[in-house]
Amino acid sequence: MESLKALLERKRKATDEAFAGRKYVKRSQLEDQRLQQLRLEEERDAQAKVVLARPLLPPSVRPVSPSDLPCPVLMRRPCAAS
């Protein structure tokens, strides 16, 4: 029961902060705030993707391309003659 009371109190504080203590709020204001939060989350996700997309190797280290590797030697398995 105490956890429920604490949860309700947190929600009340959040709505008071979001709407400056007003008792009634227009639906358009709710929608604007929801869209603003979505945009902020999208920006954070985009920034996180950019950070993850950066190469971890320093620019002086060049990645190895397949043309730099020596030719592979093919080994054949002996045929089982029946």
- Across the range 34-46, mean pLDDT stands at 94
Please name the amino acid found at residue 50.
V
Residue that wins the pLDDT comparison between 16 and 35:
35
The mean of the pLDDT values for the chain is: 80
Q: How far apart are the first and last CA of the chain?
A: 79
